[in-house]
């Protein structure tokens, strides 16, 4: 389990990568950032619908590549897995 220091460092690294990434990769990383937050802090009741929608779109199919990329990143962050290789997003 990640401690608060590791959590803060990971979010900082992701923020820096968002700033230097191309658009689809940045959306993936924004989603990953949000997913890590939910993984670490827990999902609030107000976010349950958003969480379900993002998990549903994580395999694609929303019709919007940016939403799909964000949702895939969210799913990976929520599951606590390492971010995808940039060449695959």
Structural domains in the chain (count): 1
Output the pLDDT for position 89: 45
Flag whether pLDDT at 28 surpasses 90: yes
Q: Rounded to two decimals, what is the model's pTM?
A: 0.85
Q: Looking at residue 40, what is its pLDDT?
A: 87
Residue 34 to residue 22: CA distance in whole angstroms: 18
Closest C-alpha among 87, 84, 9, 88 to residue 31: 84
Task: Give the domain extent around 31.
Answer: 4-88
Distance CA 89, CA 86 (A): 6
Residue 11 predicted with pLDDT over 60: yes
User: pLDDT digit string (tens) for 29-80?
Assistant: 999 999 999 988 877 777 788 888 888 888 888 889 999 999 999 999 999 8
């Amino acid at each position: 389990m990640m401690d608060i220091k590791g959590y803060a460092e990971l979010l900082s690294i992701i923020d820096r990568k968002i700033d230097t990434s191309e658009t689809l990769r940045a959306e993936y990383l924004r989603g990953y950032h949000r997913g890590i937050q939910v993984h670490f802090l827990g999902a609030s009741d107000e976010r349950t619908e958003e969480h379900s929608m993002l998990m549903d779109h994580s395999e694609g199919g929303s019709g919007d590549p940016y939403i799909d990329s964000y949702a895939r990143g969210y799913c990976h962050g929520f599951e606590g897995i390492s971010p995808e290789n940039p060449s695959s997003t």
